[in-house]
Structure 1
Amino acid sequence: MKTTFNLRLPGELCSKIEKEAQKNRLSINQYILYTLTKTIAYSEALEILNAKLSNVPDMAVEEILSKIPERKPLKGDKI
C-alpha cells in the first residue's frame, strides 16, 4: 500500500538529502525510503537484541566477553 506523506524539511537538510541521493545514484524518494527502512530495521534489531540479552545473567555476558582476545584499536577507533 502506497501512501502520500507531505513533509516539511529545512532547506539545508533537503540539500544534504539531494546530495546523498545523487552520490548513491538514487532518486530523492528512493534515498529517503532506503534511509528510513534501514533506520527502522536497525532499531527493531536492537530492541530484539536487548530483549534477548535482558534474559541472560550478567555473569554469562561477562564470561562471553572475557573470551574475546585483547587487541589494539584500529586506526581511527580511539576515543
Structure 2
Amino acid sequence: MHPHRLQQLVGSVPDTADADQRSRLLAHVQASDRCRVRVERVTAELERALDGVATRTGRWTSPGSWTASSGSSSGWTGA
C-alpha cells in the first residue's frame, strides 16, 4: 500500500481506539511497510536478473515493448 494512503487510513482511526486496537493497527502498518519494501527489493532484483539475460543473449525486450502477435503461441512477441 502506498505510504501516503496508509497514513490517511491511520489518521482516520478514531481517538476512542484503545491501546490494544492501536497496537494491532501499528503491527499492520509495520507489516504493510515491510511488504512494500520487500516488493521494491524483489522487483529491483528481477529487473537486474532480466537485464543480465538481455546482456548475455541480446534478445530481451522490456515487457513495455511487447506487442500482440497471432503467430506466437503465447500471443505476445517482443517488438
* TM-score, normalisation: structure 2: 0.46
The structure number with the bigger radius of gyration is 2
Bigger RCO of structures 1 and 2 (CA < 8 A, at least 6 apart): 2
